[in-house]
Structure 1
Amino acid sequence: MFESLKKKFSRTSDKLEEELIEEAQEENNLEEESGKKFSFFSFGRKDKKEEEDSKSDVAEIPQEVESIQETDTSDDETSDDKDEKSGFWSFGKKSSDNKEEPQEEESAEEIQEEEESAEEIQEEEEPKKSHFWSRNKEEDTEESEDADEKTEEKKSRFWSRNKDNDSSEENDEDEEPSGMFSFITAKTISEKHLEDILWELEMGLLEGDVAMEVASAVVDSVKDDLVGRKIKRSNDITEYTYNALRNAVAEIIDIPGKSMTEMIEAKKAQGEPLVVMFVGINGTGKTTTIGKLANYYLKKGYTPVIAAADTFRAGAIEQVNYHADKVGVKLIKHQKGSDPAAVAFDAVEHAKAQGKELVLIDTAGRMQTNTNLMDEMKKIKRVAKPDLVVFVGDALTGNDATQQASKFNEAIDLDGVILTKADADSKGGASLSIGYVIKKPILFLGMGQGYDDIKEYDADWMLNQLFSESGEEVNINEA
């Protein structure tokens, strides 16, 4: 999801770093530093990794200690136990074992020849010994240099896990293979450094179907956050830019509002059903979304009822009837061409009489410029008195969905938004803009074609999608 926006955010960080490093080179204010350069998206994983690392450190340190204890214990074994070990270990010990006396029949020359032969074989086999035994014997000065280096490397990887600035970890997955730089005298980010970069960001957001006012809000927020920042290392540039962009987007997408589930519970306490009316243009997936919501709340233990108030479009009643049958909920319908407001009214009365908690009213799709159909929509609202009027928009249409929502909001005063096909949205313009522009919350996101492919909107989840690397999207069932 949102691959286009992710690339634009990352490019903003890279451009600012290039700008500052180039200026520092001209000022002779740059030096290469040991360590690795962090990628833009690595900062989004730091919180998770720190928590995981702290747990793994606690788990692994006792294992290291245990292995050392086992090694120490092995040194105290009796000579009988040692003799039971493989011939490899016992073979080279003849020269150092004072407990074994040479046989009286052997001459001194024969004994010396046997000892020299044993030492030569021991030298040939020494590198094959396990690192486990060799790394804990500090007094063993005959161990090969290769074994020492490998053992030291293993130890350093284990103990350096808690050192924030340790540059010896070669395989850190959060780091880029490029070098890191530091400034001899700290650099201060000024408006001059950001002028071209933020203009490019704003153009990129507009190309991604982000609304003009949203793009301007993001750029202004990033500018206020970065100007005046003092930079000592190149990694600081990446981190500050990442945080500035993330904070700007967080303010844009987090529109306060109650969830539909909370409203159902509030109405249930009053002995009334929650009445939800769905509006939008043709082809956005409005009727399918109603089927998904009926299934969603049925699984939560509520009893929905659907009103087939789209009485104009050919096949509309059959379509919503198909979804109601598949999900297993009651459908209230009239003949084609009947008054849609009457259908909505009957559905509400049925829910009250049967003690059902949720009424979902399907209305005819209409363009925001069709005055007659917009007036009819207002009539349905007056008769059914819905608690929520929800606009259903197609995320793939980008800025068009935002403009449509604005027109519907002006005509009927929307209470929330549902975006369909969000899983296939690479640009993210509608998801980023629509709630901010009409000042109404996004309630649900359509994430696929199945009845279970819908999730309640969560601003933190959305933020993680926008600032995660490719392929790290969170599964809707795990969110």
Structure 2
Amino acid sequence: MFDSLKDKLGSFRKDVEETTEEKAEEAEAEAEAEAEAEAKAEAAAEADAGTQTTAETESDSSGVSEESDSEDAGSGRGFAQKAKSFAKGEIVIEEQDVEDPLWELEMALLESDVELSVANEILENIREDLVGATRSFNSETADVVEEALHDSLLKVISVGQFDFDQRIAEADKPVTIIFTGVNGVGKTTTIAKLSKYFEDRGLSTVIANGDTYRAGANEQIEEHAENLDKKIITHEQGGDPAAVIYDAVEYANSNDIDVVLGDTAGRLHTDEGLMDQLEKIGRVVGPDMTLFVDEAVAGQDAVQRAKQFNDAAEIDGAILTKADADSQGGAAISIAHVTGKPILFLGTGQGYDDIEQFDPEELVGRLLGEDE
């Protein structure tokens, strides 16, 4: 998962490390040259003192030697400063040390479908953390860079994050969750997976087929319900989605069901009639959550659709399917920052158990190889 982006982040660490290691070697060489020059100057001074008379020495010192000493002091000041830093065993990371690696990282992020504004914020956060940072010669530069990458990625990925299980546990029952998104991204399968997810945590569910327009929608969701031994509420094709979900809520109230999972027809944010349906579901049912579902492999398209859906009919969070097939990771990094709403789950396979809560810390750890 996200292997391509992981490799690119690793390359950035390596580039900065190599740059600063070269800088450390240069500082060491300059410090040694300065020490050698000072030793030669002291030896020459001792030799001169043995052959010159006191008067000649005074004459020299009143003539050019004072100017010469001043020039030597000026030219040696830069060396002395570097020697001082080196003597302390430290090196400071400067802007020019990271500019080329940051440019390469920007290209890598954009190639991985990270949204432009998100990429820019990541880069700016890294620049702020690294430039001026002091690291010891005996410590790995990669550690300093990894910390900056970790903090920057976590900041953009964690936007809006909340404890999903806790919110469900504390909510009045039944909790009604509506799922929306475009056609073919795995909404219905995701609903089945979450039904199993809740069951594993001791919560009962009922499924409502609010996708009353797609031919075969009933058959698909009924198959999942049968496999999971779950109750499903359906109406005839072409019926009112709000009425279907309302009936499911009524069934949940009458049968002490904890969670209602409502499917809806796939739509674009520009489908006015279908968007009106979502608004009607909101008025009639008053769902506790509306979750946007899309494919992780859709990359920038998923990011833009999430933003458009959130603008048109506010969502509470997102679920990314096919995350196991996504080598880029751009959608996972970008959606929360762009919408202000968190990613809550990742679909990681075809089985009913192949869904996992989205953990920003865990994702950052994967991307940086911290779990290896």
Question: What is the TM-score of this pair, normalised by structure 2?
Answer: 0.80
Alignment of 1:91-102 (within 5 A): none
Correspondence 1:377 to 2:281: no
Counterpart of 1:196 in structure 2 is: 100
Q: 1:356 to 1:464 in 2, by over 3 A?
A: same
Match of residue 112 from structure 2: 208
Query: 2:307 aligned with 1:406, yes or no?
Result: yes
1:221 to 118, 125, 138: 125
Residue 233 (structure 1) aligns with: 137
Q: 1:362 to 1:29 in 2, by over 3 A?
A: same
Q: Tell me: CA distance 1:322–1:251, structure 2 relative to 1, closer, same or farther (3 Å).
A: same
Give the match's secondary structure for 2:153.
Answer: helix
Q: Give the Cα separation in 1 of the matches to 2:291 and 2:181.
A: 8
- Which residue is 1:389 aligned to? 290
Deviation of residue 299 (structure 1)?
Answer: 2.2
2:150 is the counterpart of 1:249:
no
**Which residue in the other structure is 1:3 paired with?**
3
State the 1:187 CA deviation: 2.7
Q: Does 1:339 align with 2:271?
A: no
CA offset digits 1:253-281 (Å, max 9, x no partner): 223444332233223xx4x3000000000
Q: Shift of the alpha carbon at 1:298?
A: 1.5
| Offset, 1:16 | 1.6
Q: Deviations along 1:367-423, whole A, 9 cap, x unmatched?
A: 223222222222222212100000011001111111100000001110011111112
Matched, 1:449 2:353: no
- For the pair 1:309 / 2:213, whether they are aligned, the reply is no
Distance 1:468 1:14 in 2: 13
Instruction: Give per-residue Cα distances to partners, 1:315-364, cap 9 Å, x unaligned.
Output: 01111111111111110000001111111111111111111110000000
1:12 counterpart letter in structure 2: F
Which of residues 299, 316, 322 in structure 2 aligns to 1:421? 322
What amino acid does structure 2 have at the position aligned with 1:10? G
In the alignment, which of 365, 387, 411 is matched to residue 266 of structure 2? Answer: 365
SS of corresponding position for 1:308: strand
The CA deviation string for residues 277-317 of structure 1, in whole angstroms up to 9 with x for no partner, is: 00000111000000011111122221100110101111011
- Label 1:219 to 1:290 Cα distance change in 2 as closer, same or farther (>3 A): same
Query: Residue 12 of structure 2 aligns with which residue?
Result: 12
Give the CA deviation at 1:204: 0.8
CA distance in 1, matches of 2:28, 2:159: 47
Please give the residue correspondences for 1:25-424 in structure 2 after superposition, counting only pairs within 5 Å: 25=25, 29=29, 186-233=90-137, 235-267=139-171, 270=172, 272-424=173-325
Distance 1:370 1:30 in 2: 68
State the alpha-carbon separation in 1 of the partners of residues 137 and 245 from structure 2.
Answer: 63
Q: CA deviation at 1:234?
A: 7.2
Counterpart contact for 2:115–2:334, Cα < 8 Å: yes
Q: Is the 8 A contact 1:278 1:391 kept in 2?
A: yes
Give distance in 1, aligned partners of 2:316 and 2:154.
Answer: 21
Provide the rounded CA distance (Å) in 2 between the counterparts of 1:249 and 1:226: 14
Distance in 2 (CA, whole Å) between partners of 1:15 and 1:4 is 17
In 1, the alpha carbon distance for the partners of 2:28 and 2:197 equals 62
- RMSD across aligned C-alpha pairs, in angstroms? 2.1
Distance 1:241 1:260 in 2: 32
Which sections of structure 2, spanning at least 5 residues, go unmatched? Answer: 32-84
Q: Which residue of 2 aligns with 1:47?
A: none
Query: CA-to-partner distance for each residue in 1:96-146, whole Å, 9 max, x for gaps?
Result: xxxxxxxxxxxxxxxxxxxxxxxxxxxxxxxxxxxxxxxxxxxxxxxxxxx
| Residues 257 and 353 of structure 1: CA distance in aligned 2, closer, same or farther (over 3 Å) | farther
One-letter amino acid matched to 2:239 = S
Tell me if structure 2 keeps the 8 A contact 1:306–1:347: yes
TM-score, normalization by structure 1: 0.63
Q: SS of the residue aligned with 2:140?
A: helix
CA contact (8 A) 1:420 1:446 kept: yes
Deviations 1:149-170 (A, max 9, x none): xxxxxxxxxxxxxxxxxxxxxx
User: CA offset at residue 468 of structure 1?
Assistant: 1.4
Alpha-carbon distance in structure 2 between the residues aligned to 1:286 and 1:30: 63
Distance 1:241 1:8 in 2: 14
The structure whose Rg is larger is: 1
CA gap of 1:188–1:29, structure 2 versus 1, over 3 A, is farther
User: Matches of 1:19 and 1:265 in 2, distance apart?
Assistant: 51
Kindly provide the CA deviation profile for residues 18-46 of structure 1, in whole angstroms up to 9, marking residues without a partner as x. 32344455566389xxxxxxxxxxxxxxx
Structure 1 gaps of 5+ residues are 32-181, 474-479
